[in-house]
Structure 1
Amino acid sequence: MSGSVEADTPQQAVDTQPVNQDDIQTVAQTIRDLTSTEVQVVHPGGENGGDDFGITCYWDASSMAPLNARSAAAVARLRAYKPPPAPLWGRLHLSRRAAVLLLLFADRRGDLRVVVTMRAASLRSFSGHAALPGGKADTIEETPFQIARREAWEEIGLPMEDAKLPSPFRIEHLCDLPMNLARTELIVRPCVAFLHANEPSVPTGAPRSPSTKTPTVEESMIPRLDAKEVAAVFSAPFSNFLKATDEELPAEEARRRPLPPGKWYEGNWLQFNGQPWRAHYFYVPVNDQRVMKPKRQLSAAEEEVADELGEKERYQVWGMTARILVDAARIAYGQDPEFEHNSHYGDEGMIEDAEKQGRLGPKKKTSEAPKV
């Protein structure tokens, strides 16, 4: 990767974007909008009670609270973020283009969580590994966000168009992040989006549409997984990708859903394309959340992965996926992580070097591609 890193490596200035008055106004207005308490929070147990401490599922609007102030500010920072110009994307061959979706949503405390998948055993590369929904471009005309939305539809059944999302859901594209270089030499553009679970605010005095009941889980966006690509879908606490330890829970919540044994984070420095690259390994607790898995009959290899996932109380998130999540959290919360990390976002310097070396031409067919 081009440039230097923190800790024992040469220093490089952290990527910064100048803040102007328009950005400040955008952040302030977004905080006012997103912390509105018009939305009624209804817990899955209904009026007679239930577990108020279970982890929110992104397809269940009834378990989502309005964003708290910290989360609203994070969404506003992402909305205001502008990545550096990337003319290289326009020069890339179709076979080199890919995008992933960071889909954020609010939990019952108003904190942000992010949707993550586990790759199926049948995939040729990185089978059984954690990943963000996403994949390769189909056409040269597709934007990164269109690629990410289409792939999320194919992998987990997330509707491609907001018009097809059940009320009250809508997806807002917040920003794109700097490009990343996969080990397979695909160029991956991360796209960050927020899943709203409330109706758009109505100006004072404006007529309101007839109220509708909050959809139940069954009426909502329960994932429909492509078993050929996805072994499971789960979520992780977004802000904790800046932390070296598990998220701190309120006392009663910690008592009701204790964390499983094991650590949250470890990391080490590697060499990637001759550059220092910090590898992050996160171990996301899944013992108290609904992990969705394909229902169809599985092959022997897929059954083995499913059995292994079923036994685990923590799923490992690492590699490029972890790096993207750390970068996104740094931008969202305006702070550096508690652990060592590359100071720059993405791998764009490294990608430019690869282009100069003639390595980003048409990609060979999978059957001909070298193993990585």
Structure 2
Amino acid sequence: MMRKGCVARWRGCVLCAAPSACKQRARLNTLGLRALELGSEAATTIRAPMTEFTYGELFAEQGLAVVGGADGRLLVEWIDEAYSCGAHPNYERGVEVFDLAAGRADERALADWPARLPEPVRRPAAERIAAHVAECEADEAGAMKLLEVGVALEGGAPQIHWTFGSDVTYACSSYYYAKGEATSGLLPEAAPLGLGPLPAGVTRALTELGDAGAVGWSHLRFPAGERDAALARFSAAPEGPWPAATATLVSTRTPAQERLEEGRRLTRTSDHAGAIAAFDAALELDGNLAAAFSGRGYARLLAHDFAAARKDFEAALTRDKKPAFQAAVLFNLGQVAEKLADRPAARDAYTRSLGLRPNKTVQAALTALGPP
């Protein structure tokens, strides 16, 4: 939940500052979503847009979409990714289950699925997560949890796409979790969402439809004699116009900032070479862009070029003195020092970072070093 004056959400925490605390480069209306009842103006609010602007330096992506549903429950995907005041981004996305009959989100619907799903569904995701953690040389990942789920139609057959994740350190992933994906057909274990076996009529209708990026269905039950009249009303109901878009984006990115954002996007996709090239281009346009030094250093850290990463982080520290930025870069310097087996330098970097901004992740890294 955002509060007035808060510019980012990060790992479940709300980072607060006045809108003037960082240079405003963009502002964005948050998105809203409504479900309209066919043939009428009745609407259910799935998520109401905020009445205030979201402020920040660079916005990466915001989204709100229905990615499937069944029996009056919608799977709603939301995305909120942005850079605000500092080197660390705000990456948040997920899927929530909205119960149309209750008029609210069902917060418990997905919580216990990972443990209940059959092992063949969970195994591919677990293997991808394990490989990512091993490659990163991070500590053991946390328990695997379900991050996203959507239902698509492929060749007339509903397919459930599962995305799982486990918590890892920032040096291992800028998202703070390692992801693994799996795909399955309908499962008995998915019955709480109505994603189990389908009636023959629904199966025939989906087969005729063929392919769809998102699909949903519901069982309709009518008193005797009302079925034909309801089908006639359904067939005759015109589809009303889509609501006008309300999102407004005002951006004043410079060419250097455009290349900076490109580098960040490529870092998120693990294209480290491409990211470094984009950060190089940003620095050719603006040699004092601290965030480009920090971003290139992080891409080099992930690419295991630790000496070059350290030089970039040290350069970033000389070009932006904001405490939040300095704290984030110092944490990255500590990560580099650990990779180079320089424990005293790592301890110094973590201690300086904590002095600028208390943070559980940094504190855990310092504690893991042990006594001097």
TM-score bracket for the superposition, by shorter chain length = under 0.3
- TM-score normalised by L of structure 2: 0.23
Task: Name the one with the larger helix percent.
Answer: 2
- TM-score normalised by L of structure 1: 0.23
Structure ranking higher on relative contact order (CA contacts 8 Å, 6+ apart) = 1
